[in-house]
Structure 1
Amino acid sequence: MSAAGARGGPVGVALVGAGVISAQYLKTLSGFPDIRVLAVADLDERRAADVARAHGVPVAGGPATVLALPEVELVVNLTVPAAHAEVATAAVRAGKHVYGEKPIALAPAEAEKVLAEASERGLLVGNAPDTFLGAGLQSALRAVAAGDIGAPVAASTVVQGLGPEAWHPDPAFFYQRGGGPLFDLGPYYLTSLVALFGGVSRVAAVAARARTERAVGSGPKAGQTFPVDVPTHVSALIEFASGVRADAVFSFDSAPRRTRFEITGTEGTLAVPDPNTFGGPLELLPNGADEWRELPVRGRTDGRGLGVLDMARALRGGAAHRASGALALHVLQVMTAITRSADRSEFTRPETQPVPPEPLPADWDPAEATLIQPRPSPPAPRWRG
């Protein structure tokens, strides 16, 4: 364990990347007594300062400023996908544990380098999505483990809509390498499927791109066009090493917005909550029944940041964290295999087989102060811009 991980008390956290998603993380992380949010960084230091002030974070500046803070033990990397590996590497070389947004990198080889360097330095790597740690998916895991649908046989997932350009003020990166519906939305579904059924053994896929150009729909750039460099509709067949099969559709080309996640077993079917959310509902249709029955959803539904908290507790206590870099690497390999299959019209295989993360204990409480040493005083406010 690194020197940072050997400390006691709440874990000092900094965010790198002050874009749209940072507000969701800050809202959640600020409510966890086991975490102290100390700094916000961005290449646009004025934006970092604005976000820090809005959320009462004491330090803001450029990435180098944040990485130099000795109080920061864990960096939450919220940059655009193209910068994920670079920022994670910088954090690791600064002696920080790192938790990143999805995908962990643009290519598996980049992710493998980050994980290898972190391991050499005794540092932890975690990665979004952590939605599978929410009450909805954890309740689904417990229902499957309890045999509510018998033995799992197959799963079917669909997520489709018209893409994020209608609401996002700067959506071009969603349509560059590392984006598209597969890399943007796919991690939620694929991570949940791996948590449920274990590693993927092989995939087959087809893909399409409806338009080569799209337009920003809101904000100061409204009306500006940008190129589409990735497929915007992907259909995949997925086989797990456990023997379960799944079909999945990821699309930015559909006017009706739909999500579906169903698991079929020998004794019934489970309708799983949208894995891009943390709550319910969770419904069961036993074989021969005429109506779906709602199952209880137990646990907290705090939002983005549960994986950061689980990782913070793990680095203090030495347990394995669940939204791990190894899990994220496998999901990236699966998405890369899906892309390769669509290009080559053949089954392809990911390179690793991860151990599925352990379910959260039924009494796991994000609001509990498990790291009970007194909090040191935070750094004095330092905002730039």
Structure 2
Amino acid sequence: MNRHVCLLGCGFVADLYMRSLKATPGIKVVGVFDTDRSRLQKFCNFWTVPACTSLDDLLSHDALVLNLTNPHAHFETSKACLEAGRHVYSEKPLAMTTKDAKALFALAHDKGLILASAPCSALGEAAQTMGHALKAGVAGTPRAIYAELDDGFVPQAAYHKWMSESGAPWPYEDEFRVGCTLEHAGYYIGWLISWFGSVRTVVAASAETIPNKEGNGPFAPDLSVATLFFENGPVTRLTCSIVAPHDHQIRVVGDKGVLSCDAAWDNAAKVRFAKRITLRRRLMESPIRKRIKLRQPTHPKVKRWGAAAMNFMLGPGEVFDALEQNRPCRVGGDFALHMTEVTLAIQNAGENSGSQPMTTTCTPMEPMPWAV
């Protein structure tokens, strides 16, 4: 089969997909569409890719649609793509409500199509390395996980100067309205459910702690704290904010010590293990941490740009692999829907939601072939 993609939306994130495309051989962009004609032309000229005149024009191509539109438009646009018989890889979240995400899931199932969701970092080397170490029992039985996705006090950042390669400004107003939990929690939720499968219960709280952000509200919570109870995994605490100092660390506490990784947005981030020791009656983790590595090569890497060093095309590549091998897509189906429900539960928790049972499930992800 051909490995053709169409880009629906060419805002800030679309440039990150194009940078990743340069490192991912065999995938070709055959069409791009955006309702902002000026942005569309500028993007297509910069990357030398063909512009489409309308959504119908884009859907006339036999290609996987990368839905890179505003999150509030994901449901309607993905629905239109699925109804046109196109496989869809959507930026996060699948939809702004679990009800709409389930409707898309059902539509894709009925039509025999793949509906997959970003982020695809669970397919990356760092996540796969840590997953391999967990299966190998490097840290012993995992008892608890602490994961952080804090990005600093963003409302005071120089975000007006943040521009994509083709000249798209960082969409601060939309980012503040959608919220850091919907934008970022999936980076570690994806890792966690890829290793352990379903979250049974979410106990979370979320709040807007910084009032009067720039732009027109209402704005989403800028801080969330969640405790995730898995069907078959350790209790996990996950924080997301654009308030606390930058920290993207994840630590898996096991019987033998601690597995850790410091950079969720770097596919090549180092995974380390610190053995637990007793020194002069003091219990501690060894200051000498062992690097855990997989055999190389793994997957194509993308050099750092801005805050990230991630190959955004790992997800679309996985969709094509699944189609060619006639198997379920690792980041599609139950996985994509469950990640969406868990993320929305945290985002919408507020002050009084309490314990929230999940209504969707997924199985742990099959490791990538190079991580076995």
Which deviates further from its counterpart, 308-317 or 29-38? 29-38
Corresponding position of 2:107 = 117
Shift of 1:102: 0.5
Q: CA deviation at 1:340?
A: 5.0
**Which of 213, 227, 251 matches 2:241?**
251
Aligned match for 1:82, one of 72, 79, 85:
72
Instruction: Provide the C-alpha distance between the structure 2 equivalents of 1:129 and 1:181, rounded to a whole number of angstroms.
Output: 14
- Could you report, residue by residue, the CA deviation over 1:223-272 in whole angstroms, capped at 9, with x for unpaired residues? xx333522111111111111410111111122x22221111111111112
Partner of 1:269: 258
Distance 1:59 1:31 in 2: 22
| Cα contact 2:248–2:262 (8 A) shared by 1 | no
Secondary structure of 1:348's aligned partner: strand
**SS state of the match for residue 321, structure 2?**
helix
Q: Distance in 2 between matches of 1:153 and 1:87?
A: 41
**Structure 2 Cα separation of the partners of residues 122 and 207 of structure 1:** 37
1:27 to 19, 34, 49: 19
Which stretch shows the higher mean deviation, 126-135 or 266-275?
Answer: 266-275
The equivalent residue for 1:296 is 293
Structure 2 counterpart of 1:379: none
Aligned pair partner of 1:65 in 47, 57, 67: 57
- Whether the 8 Å CA contact 2:202–2:346 is kept in 1: the answer is yes
Q: Distance in 2 between matches of 1:47 and 1:56?
A: 14
Deviation per CA, 1:171-220, whole angstroms, max 9, x where unpaired? 111122xx2121111111111111122110112122221233212xxxxx
Q: Which runs of 5+ in 1 are unaligned?
A: 1-7, 216-224, 365-385
Q: Is 1:192 paired with 2:191?
A: yes
Counterpart amino acid of residue 153 in structure 2:
L
Amino acid at match of 1:157: A
CA distance in 1, matches of 2:348, 2:92: 19
CA distance in 1, matches of 2:261, 2:23: 27
Give the distance between the partners of 2:290 and 2:324, measured in 1 at CA. 41
CA contact (8 A) 1:52 1:60 kept: no
Pick closer, same or farther for the CA change 1:363–1:55 going to 2, 3 Å. Answer: farther
Partners in 2 of 1:20 and 1:209 — Cα distance? 24
> Is the CA contact 1:239–1:246 (under 8 Å) kept in the aligned structure 2?
yes
Q: Partner letter of residue 163 of structure 1?
A: V
2: distance between equivalents of 1:29 and 1:295? 28
2:370 aligned to which of 362, 369, 377: 362
| Cα pair 2:259 2:271 within 8 Å, conserved | yes
After TM superposition, give the deviation of residue 75 of structure 1 in Å: 0.2
Aligned partners of 1:40 and 1:49 also within 8 Å: no
The partner residue of 2:41 within 49, 53, 61 is 49
Contact 2:200 2:357 in 1 (8 A): yes
Deviation, structure 1 residue 68: 2.1
Q: Which residue of 2 aligns with 1:234?
A: 224
Code of the aligned partner of 1:295: I
* Counterparts in 2 of 1:163 and 1:185: CA distance versus 1, 3 Å: farther
Report the CA distance between 1:59 and its aligned residue: 3.5
Post-superposition CA distance 1:296-324 (Å, at most 9, x none): 25422341010100101211220221111
Contact persistence 2:148–2:250 (CA under 8 A): yes
Instruction: Give yes or no for contact 1:92–1:123 (8 Å, CA) kept in 2.
Output: yes
Q: Any idea what SS the aligned residue of 2:369 has?
A: coil
Aligned partner of 2:306 in structure 1 is: none
> What residue is the counterpart of 1:158 in the other structure?
148
Contact 1:153 1:265 in 2 (8 A): yes
Q: Distance in 2 between matches of 1:103 and 1:252?
A: 18
User: Identity of aligned pairs, percent?
Assistant: 27
Letter in 2 for 1:265: G
My pick for the range that moved more, 143-152 or 320-329, is: 320-329
Q: Confirm or deny: 8 A CA contact 2:205 2:352 kept in the other structure.
A: no
Question: Residue 289 of structure 2 aligns to which amino acid in structure 1?
Answer: W
State the distance in 2 between where 1:66 and 1:340 align: 34
- Taking a change above 3 Å as real, the CA distance of residues 345 and 124 of structure 1, as seen in their structure-2 partners, is closer
Tell me how far apart the structure 2 counterparts of residues 208 and 99 of structure 1 sit (CA, whole Å).
Answer: 30
Matches within 5 A, 1:303-314: 303-314=311-322
Tell me the CA shift for residue 87 of structure 1: 0.9
- The residue that corresponds to 1:378 in the other structure is none
Deviations 1:2-54 (A, max 9, x none): xxxxxx2x322100010011111112224433322111110112322221222
- The one-letter code matched in structure 1 to 2:101 is A
CA distance in 2, matches of 1:204, 1:337: 9
Q: CA deviation at 1:273?
A: 4.4
User: Which of 310, 331, 334 is the matching residue for 1:323?
Assistant: 331
Per-residue Cα deviation, 1:44-72 (whole angstroms, up to 9, x for no partner)? 12322221222221343332221123xx3
CA distance in 2, matches of 1:243, 1:306: 26
Backbone CA RMSD of aligned residues = 1.9
Q: Is the 8 A contact 2:193 2:364 kept in 1?
A: yes
1 CA distance for matches of 2:106 and 2:209?
38
